[in-house]
Chain A
């Protein structure tokens, strides 16, 4: 059922889940999901808020007990080997958990001590990481006045203090401005190149496309698709999309008029999306039919379209 890039087998698998489930009382946050992450890859969970991504990440981070199914990291079970596994993980939580009253470098030193690093090791490592996070000049400053992007980079630097083999990032760039996001992405690329396995969640399709070799699309606690960004787009969408806006309260009325123009039409509150392999040709057909939208735009398909097709909803409201 799922497209896969290459067989996900063998001993290069660092992380695997079978039927992984998380329930809170009557509520099922994660509903029996299967996935596997290979060494060195960047693996993403894409989905809207409430899809079960963070619950999955907390289980993978060995802080939230598994309610059902099987979870293995480095071949070990979090239920019995939690501390040993966590010693080899780096975690960037959704909300920064820095001590804002302390300085940038103090935050790193303290965190290193939690992993049992000696004072000497911690200082050496912190200096390297501040350089990596481009925060060396702010080393002696308090965290509190730093910008959101800087705090995020510090959180990432902190998560690397123990030279983790897997880095878990929960919504790494949510709330950051575009420039700060690009700086962060650049740092994450460098990490990936140096061999760190990245596992991240996001509800930004551009982030998933930029960073992930492979991803799963999650909705209501389930995985609804899996593959590389390119594969998912090929499989669940068309090459191009024609976006049409009309001067209307309800775009549903126009959906019938464009029936048959492309392969498929999606109706959003503010526009119609016509899925087609050739957007310009579709646009010409629309005009030939005498339909006159306020605006029309041809663009390439994205993961947003994949998500829309699979769930009937948009990722970001």
Chain B
């Protein structure tokens, strides 16, 4: 055991934290960076598998919807309000992919750290707290969203999915859209005992959202009573924002409103996540 020999009464707090005794408290960035660092180590081990999955499924959508269906739409209707179908659908797929990535990263792994490998419990035995864990883990998902979106956007650009450099902003919007799902789903996951709730989420929330949030056609095509449903889901706001900036047809006040809704989902989700994590882990 290393003994503190150099520290006397004048310096009761050793700079070297590996030493015995009272130590310098960790700054908040040190705390969440430690959690982030752990998840980065995990990612280094698993990124190959996840990258391929992330890349392929939106690529299939791109080919089938964008290129296949797009040719038909463009021939018959001259695109959607003058925009070629591929450029109409690609920004929406970007936002939708973010939702799926968010879903994938906020369910099984989170429940695993709560219940199966007890990773969060290990962290809570150290100076880290619930908020540090949440911030660290959520930031790692920001990383996942950024990587997944950037790769897909690069491929979509090669297919001619974007018409302007403004489309780069879709990356930020996709990350925000992903977080508008991730943070509330964290709160949801912390209340699960097993994975049956995730199946419900996938089948009855995510899939309908993808189909009816204006991803593949404008929601004005939906029956009138269904349109308000789209307004309260984060995906529609993500899709609309993404499409606006990508096509350059920006309605600023409307865009601001869309983004505000997404931010609100993150904020409310944060409050709920802190509450459900605390209830689950600090008992």
Binding site for B on A (CB under 8 A): 24, 61, 63-65, 82-84, 86-89, 91, 93, 95-102, 106, 110-118, 121-122, 124-125, 128, 161-163, 165, 194-196
Contact = CB atoms under 8 A, between A and B. Distances in A.
Contacts of B64: none
Contacts of A124: 18
A125 B19 CA distance: 10
A147 B281 CA distance: 28
Contact of B125 (A93, A110, A112, A117): A93
Closest 3 CB pairs of A and B: A97-B118, A114-B126, A83-B127
B121 A93 contact: yes
A170 to B, nearest CB: 11
Given A24-B283, A97-B122, A99-B119, A116 B21 contact: no
Contacts of B128: 83, 114
B151 interface: no
Contact of B20 (A96, A102, A118, A165): A165
A264 to B, nearest CB: 41
Nearest to A65: B282
Of listed A61, A86, A100, residue having the most chain B CB within 10 A: A86
B124 to A, nearest CB: 5
Contact of B127 (A97, A115, A125, A195): A115
Contacts of B22: 84, 87-88
Given A84-B25, A101-B45, A102-B41, A114 B118 contact: no
Contact of A113 (B1, B38, B46, B125): B38
B201 interface: no
A101 B42 contact: yes
Nearest to A196: B1
A116 B20 contact: no
A102 B40 CA distance: 12
A196 B21 CA distance: 12
A95 to B, nearest CB: 6
14 contacts: A63-B121, A83-B129, A87-B26, A89-B125, A93-B122, A96-B118, A100-B117, A101-B45, A113-B37, A113-B38, A115-B23, A115-B127, A116-B127, A122-B18
